[in-house]
């Protein structure tokens, strides 16, 4: 198998090639086109603005189906402060159920990756990073809020001040203690959030992630909500595989 890692293949043309069984991971496909393709089964996981299949934009259908399967999905794009107060308890409750489910497995399994994706404990470590980056640093103005166990995106380049220890193997209890601290911070922030704050902007300075710049508060808080929901789904998916072992 040929592997391409950290390669820029933008503008490439793949003509008359066999990609059966191929894995495309962390790929940017903006404005990509696939023509004359045949697939009895094609799995796509990712974020899509518009996904056109045989001339039909299937994103409205996909969003409708996600909302049918997961009623809270429709709450993931709140446009006022009350919307954040509505969705956050739902996310908390979902994670509480999933943590209880995971706690029935051995710690060895909770450090195990399924199909190369983050382990359960790594996923929780990433959620620490999401809160620290997008709420504590970006919105609350803490210049360096990270814990040594925070886990950034695998594809993120090294940034000054951002810890990265993918080989750490903390206990579930240690990570859950840090996680509870972050959940409390988010809960308390949303309790006091106003529509005026939500409509404003925030300026990030100094080294770290997100990088220095000006961001809308809405963009920062949506990042927190989106990451919580999607990574919870990924965790549930992988726990099902681990339970079968």
Task: State pLDDT tens for residues 197-212.
Answer: 999 999 999 999 999 9
Q: Residue 44's pLDDT band (boundaries 50, 70, 90)?
A: confident
Tell how strand 56-57 and strand 52-53 pair up.
antiparallel
Query: What is the rounded distance in angstroms from the CA atom of residue 220 to the CA atom of residue 133?
Result: 9
Please give the pLDDT value at position 61.
79
The tokens describing 118, both together, are: 């983050």
Is residue 173 pLDDT above 90, yes or no?
yes
What are the backbone angles phi and psi of residue 213, rounded to the nearest 5°? 160, -175
HSE of 165, CA atoms in CB hemisphere, 13 A: 11
Please give the pLDDT value at position 102.
98
Please give the pLDDT value at position 154.
85
pLDDT tens, position by position, 15-34: 777 777 777 766 777 778 87
Please give the pLDDT value at position 3.
67
The percent of residues above 70 in pLDDT, for the chain, comes to: 97
Angle subtended at Cα 46 by Cα 42 and Cα 52, rounded to the nearest 5 degrees:
60
Please give the pLDDT value at position 55.
84
Mean pLDDT of the chain: 91
3-state SS assignment for residue 141? coil
Please give the pLDDT value at position 65.
85
Q: Are 112 and 229 in contact (CB under 8 A)?
A: no
pLDDT tens, position by position, 218-230: 999 999 999 999 9
Mean pLDDT of all residues in 222-239: 97
Domain ranges of the chain: 78-243
Q: Kind and range of the H or E element at 61?
A: helix 59-69
Q: Are 129 and 152 in contact (CB under 8 A)?
A: yes
Is residue 181 pLDDT above 80, yes or no?
yes
Q: Residue 168's pLDDT band (boundaries 50, 70, 90)?
A: very high
11 versus 128: the higher-pLDDT residue is: 128
Q: Are 160 and 208 in contact (CB under 8 A)?
A: yes
Q: Are 242 and 109 in contact (CB under 8 A)?
A: yes
Mean pLDDT of all residues in 34-49: 78
- Name 204's bridge partners: 213
Ramachandran region, residue 54 (left: φ > 0; alpha: ψ -120 to 50; beta: rest): left
pLDDT tens, position by position, 107-163: 999 999 999 999 999 999 999 999 999 999 999 999 999 999 999 998 888 899 899
3-state SS assignment for residue 213? strand
Could you tell me the fold of the domain covering 78-243? 1.20.120
* CA 96 to the chain's CA centroid: 18
50 versus 92: the higher-pLDDT residue is: 92
The percent of residues above 90 in pLDDT, for the chain, comes to: 66
Give 3-state DSSP helix, strand, coil % of the chain, rounded to 5: 45, 5, 50
Q: Kind and range of the H or E element at 176?
A: helix 172-192
Is residue 1 pLDDT above 80, yes or no?
no
Mean pLDDT of all residues in 72-97: 96
């Amino acid at each position: 198998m040929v592997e391409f890692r950290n390669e820029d293949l933008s503008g490439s043309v793949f003509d008359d090639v066999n990609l059966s069984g191929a894995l495309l991971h962390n790929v940017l496909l903006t404005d990509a086109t696939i023509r004359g393709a045949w697939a009895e089964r094609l799995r796509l996981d990712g974020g899509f603005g518009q996904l056109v299949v045989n001339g039909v934009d299937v994103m409205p259908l996909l969003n409708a189906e996600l909302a049918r399967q997961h009623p809270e999905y429709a709450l993931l794009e709140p446009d006022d402060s009350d919307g954040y107060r509505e969705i956050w308890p739902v996310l908390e409750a979902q994670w509480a159920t999933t943590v209880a489910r995971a706690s029935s497995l051995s710690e060895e399994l909770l450090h195990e990756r399924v199909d190369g994706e983050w382990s359960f404990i790594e996923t929780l470590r990433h959620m620490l990073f999401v809160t620290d980056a997008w709420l504590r640093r970006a919105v609350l103005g803490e210049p360096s809020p990270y814990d040594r166990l925070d886990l950034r995106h695998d594809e993120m380049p090294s940034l000054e001040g951002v810890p990265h220890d993918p080989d750490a193997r903390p206990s579930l209890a240690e990570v859950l203690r840090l996680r509870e601290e972050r959940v409390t911070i988010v809960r308390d922030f949303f309790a006091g959030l106003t529509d005026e704050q939500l409509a404003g902007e925030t300026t990030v300075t100094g080294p770290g992630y997100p990088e220095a710049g000006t961001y809308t508060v809405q963009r920062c808080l949506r990042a927190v909500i989106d990451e919580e929901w999607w990574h919870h789904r990924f965790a549930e998916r992988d726990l099902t595989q681990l339970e079968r072992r």
